[in-house]
Amino acid sequence: MAIAEENEFYSKLCVARIFKGAVEKKREKEINLSGVNKFSYNLATILARDREDMRDLILTTTKINDVDIFDKVDVLNNKENTLYPQKVGSYIESLFNIVNCVRNTKYKDLFFRIDLKLLNPDVVIQPILPWNGIVEKFLDHEKEYEGFMEECLKDPTIRYRLKRVYGGVDAELNCVSSNEMYLHAELNLLTSVMNHEEKRIFIAVSKKCCYLCELYIRYVQEIKGYNVAVSGSHKSLKKLCSRWKLPDTFKKEFMSYAQLELDRIIEYEIKLCTEPDSESECIEAYLNSPFYHNF
């Protein structure tokens, strides 16, 4: 039974992702990072970069030696300056912040007590149920499905995503497929430290949290009572990732909880396709939903 529930959850996630690349949530204030947390965030930004990015970073810093150290960040973040990409500017800024932290005697003990632990990636091959089997659950009859698919395939974005997830837009939509699912880094970290009886858990990430990571973090905060803060959890538009893996911790409870939201997304998008005149009604229902206000 548990396996069947997981298969349905992941299959609904794929369907929701076909419709929606990102989900809007109520915007929150950005976390005001303390000195230690800011150091962690800057370190995460640097360590997450690939070799090519770091090469660009080194080349960039050598090209602008005649500019004041704080002006360098402004130059690199200037969108009109095509020579120095904006993302490299964030790396430079993070490096400067790390150096400033290292030079501050207040954080001396911090550097003597750094404990490095390498977590293994958590990847599984997950069966994905046929697209039509999931979608038809939200429609009244087969004829309605045919009209719905006709509208869907007119959208080049949906068509592209269907091919990417299911391998095609014809018979492939009636077949079981598979996906590699990845436990995102912030949840890998979170679930590995949640049972250590820490009063507060801060996780620094180099990118903004996706929608389901945000939903899980809020779940452990508000339902399970953990004091968790994540540096990338304030953005209002959250990416919906079709290869997102459920954490093992609180898996069953959260899966049921999150599936309600996936159902809402699918219902909303199907209604927009089958009843175009109901768009304003759908938007109003979404804005009044508890998920929009709480998550």
Q: Looking at the domain assignment, is residue 209 inside a domain?
A: yes
Listed residue (229, 262, 260) closest to 244, CA to CA: 262
> Same domain, yes or no, for 172 and 94?
no
Domains identified in the chain, total number: 2
> Same domain, yes or no, for 227 and 156?
yes
Is 293's pLDDT higher than 50?
Answer: no
**pLDDT in the model for residue 74:** 45
**pLDDT in the model for residue 167:** 92
In our burial notation (b when 16+ CB lie closer than 10 A, e otherwise), range 77-91 reads: beeeeeebbeebbbb
> Same domain, yes or no, for 134 and 98?
no
β-strands 228-230, 123-128 pairing:
unpaired
> Same domain, yes or no, for 163 and 202?
yes
Q: What is the extent of the structural domain holding 263?
A: 121-288
Give per-residue pLDDT as tens, 131-187. 999 999 998 777 788 888 888 888 899 999 999 999 999 999 999 999 999 999 889
Give per-residue pLDDT as tens, 214-227. 899 999 988 888 88
> Same domain, yes or no, for 236 and 174?
yes
**pLDDT in the model for residue 86:** 54
With vertex at residue 10, the alpha carbon angle to CA 288 and CA 281, rounded to the nearest 5 degrees, is: 25
> Same domain, yes or no, for 142 and 45?
no
> Same domain, yes or no, for 97 and 190?
no
Q: Looking at the domain assignment, is residue 73 inside a domain?
A: no
> Same domain, yes or no, for 141 and 240?
yes
